[in-house]
Amino acid sequence: MAQVKVTIDGITLEVPKEYTVLEAAQKANIDIPTLCYLNLHETSMKSNKASCRVCVVEVEGRRNLAPACVTPITEGMVIKTNTMRVLKARKKIVELLLSDHPKDCLVCTKAGDCELQNLVEKFGIRNSSEINKGEQSTYPIDQSYSLIRDMDKCVMCRRCETMCNQVQSVGALAGVERGFKAIVGTAFNKPIMETVCTHCGQCVAVCPTGALTERENIDEVVKAIANPHKKVIVQVAPAVRVALGEDFDYPAGSIVTGKMVAALKQIGFDYVFDTDFAADVTIMEEGAELVSRIEKVLKRETDVKLPILTSCCPAWVNFYETQFTDLLDLPSTARSPQQIFGAIAKSYFSEKMNIPKEDMVVVSVMPCLAKKYEVERPEFNHDVDISISTRELARLIKQMNINFESLKEAEFDRPLGESSGAGIIFGTTGGVIEAAVRTAYEKITGESLEKIDFYELRGFEGVRTATVKAGDLEINIGIAHGLKNARMIMDEIRAGNPRNLHAIEVMACPGGCIGGAGQPYHHGDGEILQKRRQALYKDDVANEIRKSHENSEVIALYDTYLKTPISEKAHALLHTYYKAQERI
């Protein structure tokens, strides 16, 4: 790679000639502040609209200040990032942004995580008269079951627009209007619920301010726990335990399962269960469906089709119900682990424990915002009553005066707390299909699987394919994370499936659930996602049981209640249907 020499704040260094001033400065350990810029390395999320101008620097020989995030470096360039002129300019820029920004920071959901507020603090902006002059734009608050759009707080960084269009290819958001009235909006300013939004919430994950936030459901949980007539049951998704620690200052990738369970018990949940259990059940159902579909296709029966698509991810379900309405016979009919858990809790568990389901409140803790949408789907009859995110759980723990770090580790309750390593890796891209293969392999061959780790299914590229051998059968597998990658693979299927894929796993969020929109904010640090991912694989290996069908409580569930996977009872409880959604 060709190198060029640049001097930044007196430090001379050589950097690849494709670098921007910002990247060169990062190499020199100089922290140029940014606001609109976001580069989530190893994903396709890169937004550099240079719209905020916070990163301006002085370049010798140039009259105007240059935005570091988009200015390419040249040989011999001399850059100054901390001159009086630069400091004054960027302070003024933030003051101007604040002049059209609500000043209710004390009660803003984003407080503590707001990148705009961090800049105010960093730049030492103290003059409130400067930020209180000028016109204030106001827009009505728009909300879905998952997220809240408060466009008064939008700074037009357009990260959400990049995410929604370039990374997710959803196209619900776009810059509309111009000048002072300009905003990131929806088609014809329709409520977000009427648009093609999948509620993946990735716009929330990248929004620097409180313009896009999750719809909080903490109060409903507190109310349920305070009600003596209710048995409150909680399930926790796999990706939560490898991220929750970050909100208590643990390094990224810390596995805090034991403390998390202890905290949930201290909060007052009557039963603390594991969504991993339901993930194992999902594999029993989805795996059986996969094997049955493959067998039928091999026998040339025409009532089923391949590839089978995973259906665990609620944003992905919303995506194909709006964008691939001609292919609704492909996804597995298995419900997501969250809903499978809800259905089992309010049938099997309710009967077993003799707790009427009317007296039960099922809460889920999810790394996800689309799960909030999923619990409201009418076909699921509120099997899961309330869904909160990883971030909300952290807030709830703090509200309950619990000192997280000092908690003594506790274990999940039985029976719905037992899980396999296969259930754990559900939280990362490639994990669901690897879990399915571990079970399908044994069902197809009748042999015990010795080599449990399918490294060929792991990785971080947006679209991956691999062929797994199960006896004489070769199963071609596709994996996509991020909805634009999912679209690419679906376009291929629509065009006749030239690579003859048999099974496809899709997770809507970059990295899978570990990068879910309900997780502690990554603030553009892609390394955090990698560490969470590694933690899940580590947790899988640490588990004695690593195949879903070897989970003893799952075996008991089938023996005593469901009989076999895809039995009539299993179908009624654990499967669903899809319908085309007309949205704009």
Partner 1 sequence: MGCEGCTNQLTESLYKKLEQFIDELPEKEGALIAVLHKAQSIFGHLPAEVQQFVAQKLNVPVAQVYGVVSFYSFFTMTPKGKNPISVCLGTACYVRGSDKVLQAFKEELGIEIGETTKDGLFSLDALRCVGACGLAPVVMIGDKVYGKITSKEQVKSILNEYR
**What would the DSSP string read from start to end of 494-523?**
HTT-TT---EEEEESSTTSGGG-TTSPP-T
Q: Which among 177-185, 268-276, 462-470, 546-554 is the span making contact with partner 1, rule CB under 8 A?
A: 177-185
The reply to whether 195 sits near partner 1 by the rule CB under 8 A is yes
| Cα separation, 167 vs 375, whole angstroms | 25
Dihedral (C-alpha) 271, 314, 368, 272: value to the nearest 10 degrees? 10
| Cα separation, 557 vs 285, whole angstroms | 13
To the query of whether residue 207 is one of the catalytic residues in this protein, the response is: no
To the query of whether residue 254 is one of the catalytic residues in this protein, the response is: no
Given 172, 237, 375, 393, the residue binding partner 1 (CB under 8 A): 172
To the query of whether residue 379 is one of the catalytic residues in this protein, the response is: yes
Nearest distance in Å: CB 178, partner 1 = 5
Nearest distance in Å: CB 482, partner 1 = 17
Cβ-proximal residues to 177 (8 Å cutoff; 6+ apart), any chain: 183, 185
The reply to whether 177 sits near partner 1 by the rule CB under 8 A is yes
The reply to whether 515 sits near partner 1 by the rule CB under 8 A is no
Among residues 312, 313, 368, 509, which one is catalytic?
312
Closer of 169 and 476 to partner 1 (Cβ): 169
The reply to whether 584 sits near partner 1 by the rule CB under 8 A is yes
The reply to whether 11 sits near partner 1 by the rule CB under 8 A is no
To the query of whether residue 332 is one of the catalytic residues in this protein, the response is: yes
| Cα separation, 213 vs 204, whole angstroms | 5
To the query of whether residue 51 is one of the catalytic residues in this protein, the response is: no
The reply to whether 582 sits near partner 1 by the rule CB under 8 A is no
Rounded alpha-carbon distances, angstroms, from residue 49 to 39, 52, 121, 179, 376: 12, 8, 24, 16, 36
Residue 207: φ, ψ to 5°: -65, 125
Among residues 58, 115, 374, 392, which one is catalytic?
374
Helix or strand (DSSP H, E) at 281: helix 275-298
Nearest distance in Å: CB 151, partner 1 = 14
Residue 130: φ, ψ to 5°: -65, -40
| Cα separation, 543 vs 493, whole angstroms | 36
Nearest distance in Å: CB 311, partner 1 = 24
Given 185, 482, 512, 520, the residue binding partner 1 (CB under 8 A): 185
- Full 3-state SS string of 533-546: HHHHHHHHHHCCCC
Residue entry with tokens 């570990």: 514
The reply to whether 449 sits near partner 1 by the rule CB under 8 A is no
Closer of 183 and 433 to partner 1 (Cβ): 183
| Cα separation, 155 vs 346, whole angstroms | 45
The reply to whether 322 sits near partner 1 by the rule CB under 8 A is no
Nearest distance in Å: CB 497, partner 1 = 21
To the query of whether residue 289 is one of the catalytic residues in this protein, the response is: yes
The reply to whether 196 sits near partner 1 by the rule CB under 8 A is yes
Count the site residues for partner 1 by CB under 8 A. Answer: 18
Q: What angle do CA 12, 18, 19 make, to 5 degrees?
A: 50
Q: Which residues of 333-360 are buried (b: 16+ CB within 10 A; e: fewer)?
A: bbbbbbbbbbbbbbbbbbeeeebeeeeb
The reply to whether 526 sits near partner 1 by the rule CB under 8 A is no
Cβ-proximal residues to 190 (8 Å cutoff; 6+ apart), any chain: 584
Q: What angle do CA 281, 284, 290 make, to 5 degrees?
A: 135
The reply to whether 488 sits near partner 1 by the rule CB under 8 A is no
Given 102, 171, 258, 526, the residue binding partner 1 (CB under 8 A): 171
β-bridge mates for residue 4, sequence order: 15
Q: Which among 168-176, 445-453, 514-522, 571-579 is the span making contact with partner 1, rule CB under 8 A?
A: 168-176
Per-residue binding string, partner 1, 122-161, x by CB under 8 A, is ----------------------------------------
To the query of whether residue 550 is one of the catalytic residues in this protein, the response is: no
Residues in the chain: 584
Among residues 58, 161, 246, 286, which one is catalytic?
286
| Cα separation, 229 vs 210, whole angstroms | 36
Among residues 350, 513, 547, 550, which one is catalytic?
513
Closer of 178 and 579 to partner 1 (Cβ): 178
Closer of 184 and 239 to partner 1 (Cβ): 184
Given 178, 299, 300, 451, the residue binding partner 1 (CB under 8 A): 178
Among residues 231, 371, 372, 547, which one is catalytic?
371
Closer of 75 and 177 to partner 1 (Cβ): 177
Residue 64: φ, ψ to 5°: -95, 155
Rounded alpha-carbon distances, angstroms, from residue 166 to 45, 161, 319, 350, 482: 8, 8, 15, 45, 10
Among residues 289, 321, 392, 418, which one is catalytic?
289
| Cα separation, 53 vs 317, whole angstroms | 38
Q: Which among 42-50, 176-184, 328-336, 539-547 is the span making contact with partner 1, rule CB under 8 A?
A: 176-184
Type of residue at 131:
I
Among residues 144, 254, 332, 347, which one is catalytic?
332
To the query of whether residue 450 is one of the catalytic residues in this protein, the response is: no
| Cα separation, 297 vs 292, whole angstroms | 9
The reply to whether 186 sits near partner 1 by the rule CB under 8 A is yes
Q: Which among 61-69, 106-114, 187-195, 378-386 is the span making contact with partner 1, rule CB under 8 A?
A: 187-195
Given 7, 26, 143, 165, the residue binding partner 1 (CB under 8 A): 165
- Footprint on this chain of partner 1 (rule: CB under 8 A): 165, 170-178, 182, 185-188, 195-196, 584
Active site residues: 286, 289, 312, 332, 371, 374, 379, 513
